[in-house]
Amino acid sequence: MMKQIIINKKYHEKKLNKIILENLPNMNYPTFCKLLRKKDIKVNGKRINKDILVYEKDKIEIYLPKELEDIKIELNKMYEDENILIIDKPSNIEVTGINSLTEIISKQYTDYEFKPQPCHRIDRNTTGLVIFAKNKEALEILLEKFKKHEIEKHYLALVYGIPTKREERVEAYLFKDNKKSQVYISDTFKKGYQKIITKYTVLEKRKNNTALLDVEIETGRTHQIRAHLAHMGYPIIGDGKYGKNDINRRFGKKYQMLCSYRLKFNFVTESGILEYLTGKEVKKNVTI
């Protein structure tokens, strides 16, 4: 994708990086430098690899990598009031970062001094409900509520294999390898591992050795549901990282069949301006 900027009087005789960074909000300085090295920036039709001065009426062309292309999605608001916003996130988009759900929401709330901020995250290709705070006080309260486990998060997961128990609460330990962007599960404590608790209930036993589970996590670790279920012998269908490729191909699924479908506010401690949410439940109707 190519972006074009025509220099006006405001940017006459200014550095190229200043102009690009101010006009492309998804861009950061390291990415700008990378584009220069690859000669993916043209000024007046000539490819450049230096941070030069530009002048009025100059034409800049920037060839953007795919991750910086504008993503256009229609926000599916499941609930909103003056303090919070709950969005049904589609697949193939991060909650935070470049071209993220948070950035898209910020662009639609330009009149707000405080741009809505997420109170928790779900994986890029996990769909479903994400809570955003619309002011600082609400953000602080919700972060504390998640920390105290006073907000229930329920997921639907389609797994390969049928659990022998109808419901179970399972404790284990998780290690996050940041370099590989992957986590590992152990049934016993090891140095560097953090405790995780995952609860599941079998909602349906289906044909082809599959089951639909309601999953609730008491600890919100990276990839916890996906890795923990796989470790227990019930990989999520479509999960390319923790699942099984032959099973994913058999069912024709490229993304994990995992959806954040129900949130419940179980406030038992002081809730300040969010007291009215106590007992409230937001649920997405979804078929997996």
Query: Secondary structure of the chain: what % helix, strand, coil (to 5)?
Result: 20, 35, 45
Nearest by Cα to 282 from 89, 86, 142: 86
Which residues touch 138 (CB under 8 Å, ≥6 apart)?
Answer: 83, 84, 273, 274
The Cα–Cα gap between 97 and 123 comes to: 12
Q: Scanning the structure block, which residue is given the tokens 């007291």?
A: 275
The Cα–Cα gap between 80 and 77 comes to: 7
The Cα–Cα gap between 5 and 3 comes to: 7
The Cα–Cα gap between 225 and 259 comes to: 11
What does R_g of the chain's alpha carbons equal in angstroms?
A: 23
The Cα–Cα gap between 217 and 198 comes to: 5
- Is 84 strand, coil or helix? strand
Nearest by Cα to 7 from 52, 63, 66: 52
- Catalytic pick among 40, 88, 123, 187: 123
Told to judge if 187 belongs to the known catalytic residues of this protein, a careful annotator would answer no
Tokens of 224: 């916890």
Q: Which residues are catalytic?
A: 123
